[in-house]
A and B are shown apart, each in its own frame.
Chain A
Amino acid sequence: MRVPILLAAVVTAAVALAAAPAGAQTPPNWTTAVDARRDLGLAQTELMLGERTRALTLVNEADRTLAPLAASLPPSARNAVAAMNRAAARGDDVAFAAAQARAWTEILHAGLLGAVADADRGDAAAARRWLLVREFRAPTRFTRAGTDATLAVAGLSRGELTPAAAARAVRADLLDTYDARLRATLQSVRAASLRGFDVRLVEAAALAHGYVRIVAGSYESQRGVAASRRLEAATGQLEQAARDGDRARVERAVGAMDRQLEGFRAAPLAPAEQARRAGQLDRFLRLVPIEYDRGVEAGRVTLAFEIQEAISFRDAAAAAFSDVAPTLIQRDASATRELTAILASLANALDAAGSGRAVARAERVSAQTERSLDLIDALFPAAWKDAAAGADFDVIAASLDRLANAARAGSWSRAEQARLEAYGIFELGPEQRLRGIAPSLFQRIEGLFWYGEGDHAGLVQLVKRKDAGAELDATLAALDTELVDASRRVGTGANSTASVVSNSAIVVFREGLEAVLILAALMASMIGGNRKYRRPLLVGVALAFVASAVTWVVAQTVLGSLAQYGERLEAVVSVIAIAVLLLILNWFYHRVYWAEHLAGFHQRKQRLLRCAGVGLVATQTLGLAALGFSSVYREGFETVLFLHALTLEAGVLAVLPGVLLGLAATFAVGAVTILLERKLPHRKMLIVTGVLMTWVLVILVGTTVQTFQVVGWLSVAPIDGVHLPYWAGTWLGIYPTWQGVLAQIGAATFVVGSYLAAEHVRARRRRRVLTSVAATR
C-alpha cells in the first residue's frame, strides 16, 4: 500500500519546511501539499462511492509526485498515516475520513508554523509558498477570507514591514482562521449527528480535534495548562462518541467544548483594535432604532429598506460584539450574556419585521437598544470609550456604501440621507482630530463630501445631479482613499509638535475672529454716553467663556453623546447670534432715528415714554449680553470639541501653546481694531464699525446656512460649475450653494437697505426741520 508513503511525503514536506533553519534548504514546491490534498480528497470520495480501485490509483499518482519529499515523520502524523493505510486496505471509508482529517490538520498546523517561521526570519518568498497551503474562513454573512497574512508577507517582501511584525500578522490571521474553522466544524458535527450521517460525523469530529491542536498553544497561554488539558479531553471524548455513533454523548461533548471555548479567541485582538470594534458595536447599535423607527408606523412596515438597514446595522453590531465578547465576558459574564440575548432578540424582531411576519413597536426596539447601550456603558473599560475613533471610519464607510447602493437603485433621497449621515459622523469625530494634525487632508475630504476637490465633483453635487455613473464612482473611490489615509493618521498622532501648535493656533484664531471683530467694533463705538453698554456686552462674553469651560468639562466625560448634538447646537446658537446681530445693527443704524423718534414721542406721551424707554434699555442690555454670549459661545463650543479631540491625539502640552498663540492673535486683532477705530473721526468710526459688523454678519449667515445643510435642516442646491477654494468657505462663509449665497446677499441687502432707509428718514426729517425753520423766519 502506497498511502503511507504519500502521506509521509506530504507531512514530511510540511514539517521539514516548518523546521528548516534559515537557508538550510530550498522549500519544496507548494504543489506537493496542494496536489496531495486534492488527490486524497478524491480518493476519499472514490472510497465512499465504493470505487476502491480508482481511489488507489489516485493515491499512487499523488505518491509519485511526492516521493522526492519523503523523510522522517513526527509520531502524530505517522499514526495518522498508519490509520489511513489500514482503512484503505479494508475499504473502511469512515476510518479513512477520520485519518485523512487528522493528517490534513497536521499539514495545516505545519503550514502555520512554517509561514510564521519563514516570515520571522525575513524570508518572504518561503512564507508566501506556505500561505498557499492554508484554509480560509468559510464565507458567511459576517465573514470573508482574511487577507492580512498575504498582505503582511507582501509588505515584508517590499521592506515595509519588519520580519517580526509580518510574522505576528501571519500568525494572527492563520490562528483566527482556524479558530473560526473549529467553531464551524463543531456546528457541522451537530448537523451530521442530527441527520445521522455517520461518516461525516466522524470526519467532522476528527477535523475539530485537529483544529483544537492548532490553536492549543494559544489556548494554553490564555487559559492555563489545566484548562488546555480539559479541552483536549473533551475533544477526545467527542471523537470517541462520534466513532461510537452515540448522539447523546456527541451532544454532551460538543456542549462541553462550547463552554470551554466561550470567550476564547485564538488570535486576541490588540488593545487598539479591541477599542475600534467596541466603538463599532456602540455606533452601529445606536443606528438600529433610528432606522427602524423610520421604517415602521402604526404597527406596519412603511419603508422596507429602512428595516433592511436596521438589520444591517444590527448585524454589523453583532459582528463587532463577537470580537469583543471574549474580553467582556471576563469583565462581567452575566452582563455579557444579557447583551448577547438582547442582540439575538433584536435580530429576531428585525427579521420578523423584514419578512412581514410581525412588526415590533419602535419603542420596544428603542428600549432594547437603550438597555444594550447601558450594558455597554457599564461593561466597556474607560479606554475603549475614549479611543474608538477608528469605528467612526467604519460607520462612514458603511454609510457611503449605502449611498452607492441607493444611487445605483435610483433612490436619491436615500442617497442624500446616507451622505449626510456619513458626513455628520466625519465632522463630529475624525474631522476634529484631523484639523489639528492634517488640515489639508480633512479639507480634501470635506471637498469630496460637498462641492468637489481637484478633478472630482463633490458628492452633494453628484447626488443633486442624480449622477450614478463613473463620476460618482470616481468621487467615492477618491473619498475612500482619503478616508483610509485619515484613519491611519487619526490615532497615530501628529507628525510634529510644530504642526499641532500652528494648526491649533489657526483654528482658535479663525473661530475667534468673527466674535472679536463684532465685539471690538461695538466696543470701539461705545464711548462717551454709550460707555454704559460695554458692561452687558462683556457680561455676555464672560458667560460664554464660563459656558465653554463647562462644555470642556462635560466633553471629558460624554464627548461621544455631546458631539452628536454639536452641529444642531451650533445651528441654533448661530441663529440666535444672527438675530441679535441684526437687532443690534438695526439699532446701530437707527440710533439717530430712534433718538429723534423717542424725543418726539416723549414730548407727546411722556408717561408712555418712560415705560417704553425702560423697556428699550432693558432690551438693549439684554440684546448686547446675548450678542456677547452667542457670538463667543457659538465658536467656543466648536473650539472646545476640537481642542478636546486634539488633546487626545497630540496631548495637552502640544495643544496648549497653539491655543495661547491663537488667543493672543485674536486679542491682538481686537485691540488693533479698537485702536484704529478710535483714531478715526466719530462718523467714520461708526461707518467702519457698521461695515465690519455687516461683513461678519454675512459670514455668519453663510456658515449658518451651511450648518443647517450639514444637519439636514435645509436642502442643498449647488451652483453648478462654480468651484470655490476651501478658504472661501472657511474665512468668508461662502459656499457654492444657492441657499447660502442668496441668504448672504439677502443679509447684506437687508443691512445696507436698513442703513439707507435710516439715512433717508433722517434726511427727510432734516429737510422738514429746515423747511419748518425757513417758514418760521
Chain B
Amino acid sequence: MVRLLALTFIVCLAAGCGGNDAADEAGTTTTAPAEVSGHLAAADLTGVKSYLTEHTDQLVAFTERFRSLAQDYDKLAASVDYDHARLLSEHRTEVAPLLAKAKDLWTEGNPYYERMEGIVAGTPSLAEYDIIIDAGSSKAEDPESAVPFDLDLADGRVLEQPGNLYNLTEGMLWGTRPEFTAHVKADLDEDGKVAFGEALPDARVFTAAADAFDRYARELSTKAQAWQPTPSDAFTALVVMVPTMSEYFGQWKASRFVRGDAANGDSFNVVSRLSDIGDIIAGLEVVFDGVQPAIAEVDAASASQTRDELSDLAAFITDLRAQESSGRRFAPEEAHRLGIEAQERGSAVAGQVTQQAAQLGVEIQQ
C-alpha cells in the first residue's frame, strides 16, 4: 500500500492531477511564497526522532529475545535430528512452554513496531523496512508487493520472498501458514484436539526467520539513528499514512476478530488490527505535534482543527478497541461502515495536512 501511495504521488506530481484543478477553471495558479518557509523554523522534530529511536530500541530488544527462543527451540529439534514428531513426543514439557513464551513475546513485541509504523512506512528513506517487517506480501501471494529478501535455511532450502517477518512468525507460531509448520498433530496442551494457535513451527524456518527479524530490526535501528527528520518527511508521513484506514479496517474485517472461524487471512489473527491502527495513529500524532507550531504560524485555525480531528480519530479507534476487548463482536457490515467512517476522517486529515504543506511550501515526497 505504501508503495502504491508512493506511486500515486509520483504520478500525481508528474501528471499535475488533482492538485492543480482549481487553476483549470480559474486559469490561475498560485504557489506558496518563499518567505513562508521561514515558518518551518518553528517545527520541532526532535520528538519524532526520539520517539522513533526509542521504539527501534524496543524492537531490537524484542527480536533479540525472540531469536534466543528460536535458538533454544532449534537446539531441541537438533537433538532429535529435526524429527518434529519426536520433538513433540520426547520434549513436550519443554516445547509447549517455550512456544507459549514465544507467542507471548510476539504479542508483546508486535506494538513496538506498530507504534512507529506510521513514521517508518511514511518516510521514503525508511519505508523499505515496513515492507520487510510488517507490510510486504509473499512472492506467491503478490510478486509485485513481495518482500525483498529470501530466507536461507540451514538445511539448504531457500524460501523465496516468504512474506513479512511479523506475518511469517505469526503464521508459524499460530499455524496460519501451515507450510512453515511441522506436519504433526500439534496438540500442545494435550486436550485431545488441535485448537486455533496450536502449531509446531518448522525449527529451521523459525530460526532463520528469527535471525532475519533481528538483523533487519538492527538495520532499521541504525538507519533511524542516522535519520534527520525534515518537515518534508513529517508531512509526507502524515499524508501517506493517515488515509490508509480503509485498508487496515479491511484487514480487520477479514481477521478472526470479525469473522471468527470463517476468517481466511493468515495475518492479524493474534493482535487485533484495531490495536495496530491505534498504535499507528499514536505515532502520527507525535509527528503532527512536531509540525503543528509551524502550521499554526500560517493558519492557526487549520492547525488546531487537524490536531483535534487526529485526536478524535485516535479516540474513535480506541473506543472501538475497548468495545472489542470487552467482548463485542462486530458484524461485517458494521466493520465495513466503521471503516468508511475512519477512512473519511483519515482522508479529511490528510487533505488538511496537504493544504498546510502547500501553504508552508513543503514538498510531499514520492
The distance from the CB of B257 to the nearest CB of chain A, in whole angstroms, is 16
List B contacts of A140 (CB < 8 A).
Answer: 8
B262 at interface, CB cutoff 8 A: no
Tell me the bound Cα distance from A169 to B308 in angstroms. 28
- Segment 145-201 of A: residues with Cβ below 8 Å from B: 145-152, 154-155, 158, 160-161, 165-166, 168-173, 175-176, 188, 195, 197-200
A141–B7 touching, CB < 8 Å: yes
In the complex, besides A144-B19, A151-B359, 18 extra interface pairs with C-beta distance below 8 angstroms are A128-B299, A136-B347, A138-B243, A139-B243, A144-B239, A144-B354, A145-B351, A145-B355, A147-B355, A169-B26, A171-B25, A175-B25, A197-B336, A269-B25, A274-B24, A355-B142, A394-B16, A488-B29
A135–B24 touching, CB < 8 Å: no
The distance from the CB of B340 to the nearest CB of chain A, in whole angstroms, is 7
A151–B358 touching, CB < 8 Å: yes
B-contacting 9-mer, from A34-42, A500-508, A677-685: A34-42
B14–A270 touching, CB < 8 Å: no
B4–A147 touching, CB < 8 Å: no
B8–A355 touching, CB < 8 Å: no
Tell me the bound Cα distance from A42 to B359 in angstroms. 31
User: What class of interface size applies to chain A in its complex with B?
Assistant: 35 or more
B1-26 Cβ-contact flags toward A at 8 Å (1 or 0): 00011011111111111111111111
B24–A268 touching, CB < 8 Å: yes
A169–B30 touching, CB < 8 Å: yes
B28–A34 touching, CB < 8 Å: no
B26–A270 touching, CB < 8 Å: yes
List A contacts of B219 (CB < 8 A).
Answer: none
A408–B125 touching, CB < 8 Å: yes
B25, B344, B355, B364: most-surrounded residue (chain A CB, <10 A):
B25
List A contacts of B25 (CB < 8 A).
Answer: 168-169, 171-172, 175, 267-270
Residue of A nearest to B34 (CB): A481
The distance from the CB of B300 to the nearest CB of chain A, in whole angstroms, is 11
The distance from the CB of B182 to the nearest CB of chain A, in whole angstroms, is 31
Tell me the bound Cα distance from A165 to B23 in angstroms. 9
B301–A132 touching, CB < 8 Å: yes
B316–A267 touching, CB < 8 Å: no
Residue of A nearest to B12 (CB): A144
Tell me the bound Cα distance from A152 to B16 in angstroms. 17
A45–B27 touching, CB < 8 Å: no
Given the known interface contacts A30-B301, A45-B341, A160-B30, the answer about A172 and B11 at a Cβ–Cβ threshold of 8 Å is: no
A128–B301 touching, CB < 8 Å: yes
Q: In the complex, which of the residues A165, A176, A408 contacts B124, with contact meaning CB atoms closer than 8 Å?
A: A408
List B contacts of A274 (CB < 8 A).
Answer: 24
The distance from the CB of B36 to the nearest CB of chain A, in whole angstroms, is 9
A147–B354 touching, CB < 8 Å: yes
A273 at interface, CB cutoff 8 A: yes
B86-101 Cβ-contact flags toward A at 8 Å (1 or 0): 0000000000000000
A706 at interface, CB cutoff 8 A: no
Q: In the complex, which of the residues B8, B23, B343, B364 contacts A148, with contact meaning CB atoms closer than 8 Å?
A: B23
Q: Which residues of A contact B (CB under 8 A)?
A: 30-31, 34, 38, 41-42, 44-45, 48-49, 128-129, 131-132, 134-152, 154-155, 158, 160-161, 165-166, 168-173, 175-176, 188, 195, 197-200, 203, 267-270, 272-274, 276-277, 280, 284, 312, 315-316, 319-320, 323, 354-356, 394-395, 397-398, 401, 404-405, 408, 484, 488
**Contacts A/B (CB < 8 Å), 18 sampled:** A45-B341, A131-B355, A136-B347, A136-B348, A136-B354, A138-B347, A139-B5, A145-B19, A148-B20, A148-B30, A150-B358, A172-B24, A173-B21, A176-B22, A200-B340, A276-B16, A280-B15, A355-B142
A147–B19 touching, CB < 8 Å: yes
List A contacts of B28 (CB < 8 A).
Answer: 152, 161, 165-166, 168-169
Residue of B nearest to A174 (CB): B22
Tell me the bound Cα distance from A705 to B7 in angstroms. 37
Tell me the bound Cα distance from A521 to B8 in angstroms. 59
The distance from the CB of A500 to the nearest CB of chain B, in whole angstroms, is 24
Given the known interface contacts A42-B316, A169-B28, the answer about A398 and B359 at a Cβ–Cβ threshold of 8 Å is: no
How many chain B residues touch A (CB < 8 A): the figure is: 67
B47 at interface, CB cutoff 8 A: no
B337–A197 touching, CB < 8 Å: yes
B347–A139 touching, CB < 8 Å: yes
Tell me the bound Cα distance from A148 to B23 in angstroms. 7
List A contacts of B14 (CB < 8 A).
Answer: 284, 312, 316, 394-395, 397-398, 401
List B contacts of A356 (CB < 8 A).
Answer: 143
- Segment 24-53 of B: residues with Cβ below 8 Å from A: 24-33
The distance from the CB of A445 to the nearest CB of chain B, in whole angstroms, is 18
A405–B366 touching, CB < 8 Å: yes
A319–B30 touching, CB < 8 Å: no
Q: In the complex, which of the residues B30, B144, B312, B348 contacts A354, with contact meaning CB atoms closer than 8 Å?
A: B144
- Segment 143-188 of B: residues with Cβ below 8 Å from A: 143-144
Residue of A nearest to B3 (CB): A308
The distance from the CB of A587 to the nearest CB of chain B, in whole angstroms, is 53
List B contacts of A135 (CB < 8 A).
Answer: 347-348, 351
B142–A319 touching, CB < 8 Å: no
Residue of A nearest to B25 (CB): A172
B18–A137 touching, CB < 8 Å: yes
A172–B347 touching, CB < 8 Å: no
List B contacts of A273 (CB < 8 A).
Answer: 20, 23-24, 27
Q: In the complex, which of the residues B11, B24, B337 contacts A142, with contact meaning CB atoms closer than 8 Å?
A: B11
Given the known interface contacts A48-B337, A136-B347, A200-B337, the answer about A146 and B30 at a Cβ–Cβ threshold of 8 Å is: no
B319-352 Cβ-contact flags toward A at 8 Å (1 or 0): 0000100000000011011101101110110111
B4, B29, B341, B345: most-surrounded residue (chain A CB, <10 A):
B29
List B contacts of A284 (CB < 8 A).
Answer: 14-15
A144–B305 touching, CB < 8 Å: no
The distance from the CB of B142 to the nearest CB of chain A, in whole angstroms, is 7
Residue of B nearest to A198 (CB): B333
B347–A144 touching, CB < 8 Å: no
B17, B24, B341, B358: most-surrounded residue (chain A CB, <10 A):
B24
List B contacts of A151 (CB < 8 A).
Answer: 22, 30-32, 358-359
The distance from the CB of B160 to the nearest CB of chain A, in whole angstroms, is 13
B309 at interface, CB cutoff 8 A: yes
Residue of B nearest to A34 (CB): B305
Tell me the bound Cα distance from A143 to B8 in angstroms. 7
List A contacts of B68 (CB < 8 A).
Answer: none
Residue of B nearest to A390 (CB): B16
List B contacts of A165 (CB < 8 A).
Answer: 26, 28
The distance from the CB of A324 to the nearest CB of chain B, in whole angstroms, is 11
Q: In the complex, which of the residues A146, A277, A405, A408 contacts B22, with contact meaning CB atoms closer than 8 Å?
A: A146
B17–A319 touching, CB < 8 Å: yes
Tell me the bound Cα distance from A354 to B8 in angstroms. 17
List A contacts of B21 (CB < 8 A).
Answer: 146, 148, 172-173, 176, 267
B8–A144 touching, CB < 8 Å: yes
- Segment 244-271 of B: residues with Cβ below 8 Å from A: none
Tell me the bound Cα distance from A273 to B348 in angstroms. 27
B58 at interface, CB cutoff 8 A: no
Given the known interface contacts A140-B8, A142-B17, A268-B24, the answer about A199 and B350 at a Cβ–Cβ threshold of 8 Å is: no
Tell me the bound Cα distance from A267 to B24 in angstroms. 7
B11–A141 touching, CB < 8 Å: yes
Given the known interface contacts A128-B301, A144-B8, the answer about A172 and B18 at a Cβ–Cβ threshold of 8 Å is: no
A200–B336 touching, CB < 8 Å: yes
B71 at interface, CB cutoff 8 A: no
